[in-house]
Amino acid sequence: MAARTEGRTAADRNHKKKKIFTRKMQAKFMLVFCVVFVLFMVLVFRIIYLKQRHGVDYTNAVLSHQSYVNTNIPYERGRIMDRNGAVLAKNVVTYNVILDPSVVNANNGMYVDPTVEAITKAFDDVSASEVRDILKKNPKSAYIVLIQGCSYDKVREFKRLQEENHKLVKGVWFETIFTREYPYGSLASHIVGFVNSDHSTGAGIEYQYDKYLTGKSGRESGYYDAELNLIKKTWPAEDGATIYSTIDVAVQTAVEKNIKQFNEEMGCKNIGVIVMNPNNGEIYAMASNEGYDLNNPRELTGFVSAEELAAMSEEEKLTKLNEMWKNFCISYTFEPGSTFKCITVAAALEEGIATPESTYYCGGVAELDNYKIHCNARHEKLTLEQSLMRSCNMAMMDISDKIGRTTFRTYQDRFGFGFKTGIDLPGEEKGIVVDKLNLNQVELATSSFGQGFNVTMIQMAAAYSSIINGGYYYTPHVVKKIVNASGATVYEAKNTISARTVSKTTTEFMRKATYETVRAGTATPAQVKGYLVGGKTGTAQQGVRQEIVTDNKYVVSFIGSVPADNPQVVIYVVIDEVNSDTLYNSSRPATMLTSSILKEILPHLGLYPSEGEIDYGINIIENAEDEHSAEIEKKAE
C-alpha cells in the first residue's frame, strides 16, 4: 500500500514537472526564437551588404597593417569603329615598371643584385647605376615609377627572368597603361575627335559619347608574405563600350582625297562635304578643308608657318587650335544661295500657290522698295521646273510674294532653319533667320533665293533629304549603335523622323526637276556617266552688298541626290572663296568636285550604273548657265 502511494506520488511529481512548460511558455519561447532568428538574418544580410558595398575598403584596411601595394587597374576606353568594323580609335597597351625599394632592400640587401641584374637585362631604358641610386636614396619607398610606357615584349622578358630566380628577384611589378591611338591619322578628324593626355576629351564622338566610352577603373590590393611574395586581391576594371559609327572609311577617304586634290589644283578658304543617306539620316562622310592629326591634335605645324608659330602667344595658339578643331559642316554658317530655291518651290507646291503648269516671267531685273534685284539672265517665260533648271531669281520672288512672309517663315521652321538639327556632335550652330516681322518686301524676295539669312551645311543636307525622300525629316546622326564590353547592345539609333515636310506628290516633282537641272540646267558638270543625278547649284555673295563689288568673296555650292528617281545618297558640297579669277562666283567648282566624288563612292555604296550606261548627250559648255548671286543695289537718288 505504501509502495503504491509512493509510486503515485512520484508520478504526480513527474506530471507536475511536465505541466510546468505550459502553452503560454511555449508561445513565449517561439516568440524569442523568431526574434533571435530575424536578428540573425538581419545580421547576415547586413554583412553581405557591407561586403558588397565596402568590401574593398575593409580588405584594404586589413592589408594596411601589413606591407602592401594598392593600385588602380585602368579601364580600357571603348573603341570607335566605322559602319563596317574598321577601327577609327583604339587603345595601345603599355606598362609602367614599378619599383618597391622597401622590398628589394629587405633581408640585408640580398635581393638587390639579382633584381638589378634582371631589370637591366630586360629593360635597356635604365642602367644598373640608376636603379641602385634609386634604391639607395629611397630605401623605404614602396612605389617608384622606374620606366614609363614599356612594351609587352620587355615586360614578358622580365617575367621570364623573374620566374627563373623567383626567390631572389623581388620588388618589381607593373601597371597597365592604355594610350589612345587613331589608325587613320587625320581621317574624319572632325567627327571622331580626340582624347587629351589628361584623359579629357576634345570634339567629335570622343566628346559627345564620352560617358559610353569611359569605363570604370578596377583595383588591386596585395601584401607581401613572410617570403616577400606578393599576394594580390583584384577587383577587375569595367571597360568602355564600343561605338559603331555611321561613317564609311572608304567614302570618307574618297571625299578627303578629292578635297585635297581640289586644293592643290585650285584652292579656296574652306570646303565642306557631307555624304548621307536621305532615308534614315545616317552620315557616310563629313569633311572640311583640312583635318588635323588625331594622334597629335595640338600640333599646329602645317597650319601656320614656323615664323608665325614662334611669334604666337599661348592665347593665340589656343584660338588657332579651336579654329582647327571646328567642324565646318555643323559649326559654320553661310548664306545658302540658290540651293534654297528647292525649299521655296516645295513650299509653293504644298500651299497650292504653284503647280507644275505654273509659268513665270523673268525680265532679268526687278525693283523693290528702291532696290534693284538682278537675275543671272533674262529668261523671259519659264515653267516652274525651268525656274529651278535655270535658277531664276525673278520666279522665286514671284512665288515668295504669293506665299507671304507668315507662310514662308512657317516653312523655314518646318524645314529646321533657325534650329539645331540635333546631330550627335558637339558645336552645332543653329543659323540665323530673319524674324517674321522683319520679312519685308525686299527681305522676303531675297530670302526666296537663299540670301539674307544663314544656315549650316547639316541643316541644308537634312532639309533637302526630306524634300526628295517623300517628305520625312530624319535627324542626322553619326553613331549607329553602341555595344558594351559584354557584347550587349546598349544603344541603337532609331532613325528618328522628327517632322513631315512635304507630300509625296511634291517629292515626285522635285526629283524630276532636280534631275533636269543636272541633265540640262545649271548643274550639268555634276553628271556622272551611267547614273541619274539630281540636284541644285548655289552661289551667294558674302558680306555687305555694294553698288561696286570690291572683293570676290562668294560661297558656291551644289546639293544633289543619286539615283534621282529613287534617292539613296545625298551629297552636299560647299566651297568658300574659290581661288580663281574666273570661277570665284560660279558653282562649277562645286559641281565638278561633286562629280569626282560620286564616281568613286557610288559603286562602293552598292549603286551601280544602269544597263547600257546613261549618256546625257550634253556637252559641258564652259560658259553654261551658272547662276550668280543677286546683287542688291541701292538705287541712286
| DSSP line for 273-341 | EEEE-TTT-BEEEEEES----TTSTT--BTTB-HHHHHH--HHHHHHHHHHHH--HHHH--B--GGGGH
More confident residue, 301 or 221: 301
Neighbours of 24 (CB within 10 A): 8
What's the pLDDT score for residue 532?
Answer: 96
What's the pLDDT score for residue 264?
Answer: 92
HEC assignment per residue over 355-378: CCCCEEEECCEEEECCEEEECCCC
How high does pLDDT run on average in the chain? 86
- Mean pLDDT lowest among 46-55, 250-259, 313-322: 46-55
Give yes or no for residue 228 having a pLDDT over 50: yes
Contact 79, 242 (CB under 8 A): yes
Within 8 A by CB and 6+ apart from 441, the residues are 368, 369, 401
What's the pLDDT score for residue 634?
Answer: 35
Q: What is the Cα–Cα distance from 310 to 300, expressed in whole angstroms? A: 11
DSSP letter for 455, please.
B
pLDDT-derived band at 630 (thresholds 50, 70, 90) equals very low
Question: And the C-alpha cell for 424?
Answer: 550627335
* Residue 334 burial (10 A CB sphere; 0-12, 13-18, 19+): buried
Contact 467, 341 (CB under 8 A): no
Model confidence, pTM: 0.80
Q: What is the Cα–Cα distance from 529 to 527, expressed in whole angstroms? A: 6
Question: And the C-alpha cell for 360?
Answer: 513665270
pLDDT tens for 404-451 read: 999 999 999 999 999 999 999 999 999 999 999 999 999 999 999 999
| Mean pLDDT for the stretch of residues 162-185 | 87
pLDDT-derived band at 370 (thresholds 50, 70, 90) equals confident
Contact 286, 190 (CB under 8 A): yes
Question: And the C-alpha cell for 385?
Answer: 521646273
pLDDT-derived band at 533 (thresholds 50, 70, 90) equals very high
- Mean pLDDT lowest among 314-328, 339-353, 507-521: 314-328
More confident residue, 149 or 205: 205
429-467: b (≥16 Cβ within 10 Å) or e: bbbebbeeeebeebbbbbbbbbbbbbbbbbbbbbbbbbb
Domains of the chain: 70-184+233-245 (3.90.1310.10), 284-634 (3.40.710.10)
Contact 439, 411 (CB under 8 A): no
